[in-house]
Amino acid sequence: MDREATSVARIVADNPYAYYARVVALFHPPRAAVAGVHPAAVVDPSATVAASAEIAAGAVIGARARVGERAIIGAGSFVGEAAEVGDDTRLYPRVTICDACVVGARCILHPGAVIGADGFGMAPDAGAWVKIPQVGRAVLGDDVEVGANTTIDRGSLGDTVVEEGVKLDNQVQVAHNCRIGAHTVIAGCTGIAGSTVIGRHCMIGGAVGFVGHLTVCDGVTVTAMTLVSKSITRPGTYSASLPMMPHADWLRNAAQIRRLDEIARLARGKTAPGDDHGNDDA
């Protein structure tokens, strides 16, 4: 047993990494809110701000907004009209919570995060684009962490929802009407197209791309740089990317990739696309 490896004082834990995280947090706790509104902040008279909350210089709290107990609204942050920020939530400097959006309790939003920007909804019309008003909200549950410069768009009609305990890394894009299940973690530079539903307890690697209008079940792991182009209905680990190779090798392989269908047909004794009479399963 590892406990017998040394005679000095030691801690034995089933999950050393999580135990280490808790120990470090004990020695480096987040600072408490310094109650009050800085003279350089702007708070609308109709807003409700808890007496124990901290509103830093340059922050703006809009009409009918609500800021909970012990919340910290960092310098230059914006809480829009009728938006809500829960108890013990911290907005680092330059965070934007757009009108009517909701952030739960004990959340952490890092600099540059934007919650509730318009979803990308455009209707083609006679060679131009007509903007579709985005009238839903973005709603974050309790204990959510949002990385720097991550964006979560408001819904087009219903809400975009990030459930409790979700952790998003820097520069993640969550498009309109998405839903991310509780305790899912998503690494940086991932892009999630509109109306995608990701289940609970999923782990999404960096720079993963999700095509819109698909569903990912609970307990899925997607490795970095994977393109998810269809729904995932069974838990497990999914990958879809090519490893790095010398550029000359890539050029040769890419030339063959373009001919894969032709090569497959030849291997099956078919010489032209019409030869399969609609029975090709490729």
Q: Which of 116, 104, 123, 122 is nearest to 155 (CA)?
A: 116
Type of residue numbered 52: S
Q: What does the alpha-carbon distance between residue 5 and residue 80 come to, in Å, rounded to a whole number?
A: 57
Of 28, 38, 176, 201, catalytic? 176
Is 176 labeled as catalytic in the residue annotation? Answer: yes
Q: What does the alpha-carbon distance between residue 232 and residue 254 come to, in Å, rounded to a whole number?
A: 27
- DSSP conformational letter for 113: -
Name residue, tokens 């829960």: 86
Token output for 52: 């124990």
Contact 107, 91 (CB under 8 A): no
Secondary structure (DSSP) of 137-184: -EEE-TT-EE-TT-EEEPPSSS-EEE-TT-EE-TT-EE-TT-EE-TT-
Give the neighbor-by-neighbor strand order of the sheet with 197-198. Answer: 48-49, 66-67, 84-85, 102-103, 138-140, 160-162, 179-180, 197-198, 215-216
Q: Which of 101, 88, 85, 105 is nearest to 43 (CA)?
A: 85
Catalytic residues: 176
